[in-house]
Amino acid sequence: MGAKFPVKVIGIVIVILSSLQQVKAAPIDEKPQFPCKAPHNSYPFCNKSLGIPTRSQQLVSLLTLEEKIRFLCNNFSGIPRLGIPPYEWWSESLHGIATNGPGISFSGPVKSATLFPQVLNSAASFNRSLWFDTATAIAVEGRAMYNSGQAGLTFWAPNVNIFRDPRWGRGQETPGEDPFLVSSYALEFVKGFQGENQSDAGLLMLSACCKHFTAYDLENWANFTRYSFNAVVTDQDMEDTYEPPFKSCVQQGKASCLMCPYNSINGVPGCAKGDLLQKVRKDWGFKGYIASDCDAVATIYEYQYYVKTPEDAVAEALKAGVDINCGTYMLYNTQSAIGQGKLKEGDIDQALNNLFPVLLRLGLFNGDPLNGMFGRLGGKDVCTKEHQRLALEAARQGIVLLKNDNFLPLNKDHVSSLAIIGPGANSTSYLDLGGGYSGFPCNAKSYVEAFQPYIKKTNYVKGCLNVDCESNSMFDEAVHVAKVSDYVILVVGLDLTQETEDKDRVTLLLPGKQMDLVSLVASVSKKRIILVLTGGGPLDVSFAEGDSRVASILWTGYPGEAGGKALAEVIFGDYNPGGRLPMTWYPESFTQIPMNNMNMRADPSRLYPGRTHRFYTGEVVYEFGYGLSYTNYTYKLLSAPNTLKLIFKTSASLRKLYETEVGIGYVPTDEILSCDIVRFNVQLSVMNAGHMDGSHVVLLYSKASSTIEGAPRKQLIGFSRIHTTAHRSTDMSFSVDPCEHLSFANEHGKRILPLGEHILMIGELKHSLLIDM
């Protein structure tokens, strides 16, 4: 979603911002408005015995052209003659009900909502059930707020773009850099948010929207802005990096909405790129609506200069497959586009017949929603103890221990005093704890507040005026408390002043003089210090990793309202950390790579090292999937096949077998007779060899031994978070689909499966698998 808008579209901004102000100022009815109540309940579209397509078509048939056009704007104004009230399509729920969308108001009986960890933090848990449970809890609170007249039913989350470049200001909103991980998150979030048993035509609790389709991962870098950026993406990268999360959203998650982006893709604005937008319906089976980002239809003309008039922009978007415009460009320009012969009324009808079924599945035309399936939900279901416990558990599981020289956990009985230093350490602001797209939390506690129940004598100083840390004027007081305190915890890193929507970073180093603060405090403290890193984007903290005076480093990201308590529990040993990094942490030298280069694969001839753990060939600070624990784990393979025999659809497939220079071939996955019959399990035993129980993330990678050009260096093909008991082993298994998990895209964007040896890797454990024909 676009929270900030291009300058040229200022008229649109005024309209949308005015609607935001109206939502905040208007009195709350404490009950949602809804259609199909007497005397307007006899229309066919109100008849629940009819099929949803029929009801949608009946509604379209009753509308005038002017009324149809009203539905093309997120801020729908209503049709009084049919008893259809106004409706705001734009609500946000990335990691809790957020204030960003005008569909949300915290001015009614519900004053706050559970603020879960930012998405990148949740991804660090590598826990599918946690993602599902979190999305379900957010949906319950969203429905409850709708029933209180404080929210809509259509939410524009999740953000499932790939965290391609560490400088991206919105990488924090995503599940990370790996398409398998992001796809898995997308599936669980959509299922949990819309309702576990929902189908394409079934009832929805709420509508989820996977955004931004696709190749959107640049805000404002150098001379490039998201409003005009042209993402040049190869067919190969599109197929096995950028598209998989959205395909998972649609095919497995059954998402009811997709959002197209501001940026262009290979020269065509994302919201005018019909081949992509039609592909999701024809090839992926998408049944839902496509919304533009705000105001991505306007940028087609105003920023990308792809067309000559506003009417052309509207026509291009609608014909490409966009069904609704966040903003007013369609509202103001569709009528004239039809008058100029650039659109037909049937184009609008098609859009409405994509929009209306979603509203019907949400029960909006079924009468009083308080009498419906979800009508019992209300204020009592928001900020519940259960949801706050879940937020705490999510925060715990997302904390990543990056360094620990036999220092943590601390024994609170052996700590006489504690210094907490850092500009955001005593903050409960969304800038520090929430991250982008946050709401008003139920009961947020700062890091300082969370440590006080453990250690009565705590000394807090900021060290820097703010996260920018442009001056060392407050260093003296930091030095003083470090000298007089028994232990020191230093909280530094990023907040939303450094990385956010419309703002990318230019460096991977700690902001301002933070590095100097860390080194100075470490040099004067009685004991080695604990360094806590906040924010979403990766940081080059090589100096601290190599400094023996820095005993431990933890990444907390944006941990949500319970992040302070979760960190205190980890540091004092009430919780054994098990989070893993969902993105690569690169050295500062990575910033020499142009952010506008979308290529994932390395190109040695151009000194281009590639991106993400799958293709990057350079040095790292911390690798993807890295994370320590207070205990040690070993793996033992119990069973896995040594060979797999592929069966092809026809003998002609043999002639399609490509040969590489070294004579090892590959086969297109669509030529394999049945992928189901070659699926296999990898069973292993995980031994907790330490003295502390804990949950542990097991990561399964694969690597093809062949030298096929464009092959990933390795691929994540399985992950699971399991609970382990000290000094005991736990058995587990992974299911592997070779066609999906061991394949990648060739230069033509076609999935291929290498023949020959594949290496399966779990930690230091390796297993050879031969795939033959």
Q: Is 504 a catalytic residue?
A: no
Helices (H), 471-513: 475-484
Among candidates 98, 175, 84, 292, which has minimal Cα distance to 580? 175
Q: Which amino acid, residue 653?
A: S
**Phi, psi (5° rounding) for residue 722?**
-120, 150
Residue pair 167/371 in contact (Cβ under 8 Å)? The answer is no
Among candidates 281, 256, 71, which has minimal Cα distance to 156? 256
Number of neighbours of residue 768 by Cβ within 10 angstroms = 12
Q: Is 39 left (phi over 0), alpha (psi -120 to 50) or beta?
A: alpha
Calculate the alpha carbon distances from 368 to 7, 109, 147, 376, 380 in Å: 41, 19, 10, 12, 20
8-state DSSP, 410: P
Name beta bridge partners: 723.
695
Helices (H), 47-153: 52-61, 65-70, 119-123, 128-147
Q: Which helix (H) or strand (E) holds 359?
A: helix 345-361
| Cα torsion angle, 606, 608, 610, 611, sign | negative
Number of neighbours of residue 551 by Cβ within 10 angstroms = 20
Among candidates 377, 379, 372, 376, which has minimal Cα distance to 34? 372
Name the token pair of 100: 């960003």
Torsion angle of the four alpha carbons 703, 706, 712, 717, in this order, in degrees rounded to the nearest 10: -30
Identify the three-state secondary structure at position 537. coil
Residue pair 212/268 in contact (Cβ under 8 Å)? The answer is no
Among candidates 487, 485, 481, which has minimal Cα distance to 410? 487
**Phi, psi (5° rounding) for residue 517?**
-60, -45
Among candidates 240, 173, 222, 247, which has minimal Cα distance to 612? 240
CA–CA–CA angle 397, 583, 179 (5° rounding): 100
Rounded Cα–Cα distance for residues 266 and 599 (Å): 12
Q: Which residue in this structure is represented by tokens 């779990």?
A: 762
Q: Which residue in this structure is represented by tokens 């009900």?
A: 97
Rounded Cα–Cα distance for residues 193 and 715 (Å): 28
Torsion angle of the four alpha carbons 211, 214, 218, 222, in this order, in degrees rounded to the nearest 10: -150
Rounded Cα–Cα distance for residues 710 and 313 (Å): 37
The alpha-carbon radius of gyration of the chain (Å, integer) is: 27
Q: Which of 293, 432, 540, 547 is catalytic?
A: 293
Among candidates 587, 493, 566, which has minimal Cα distance to 535? 493
Among candidates 523, 562, 578, 524, which has minimal Cα distance to 404? 578
Residues assigned a catalytic role? 293
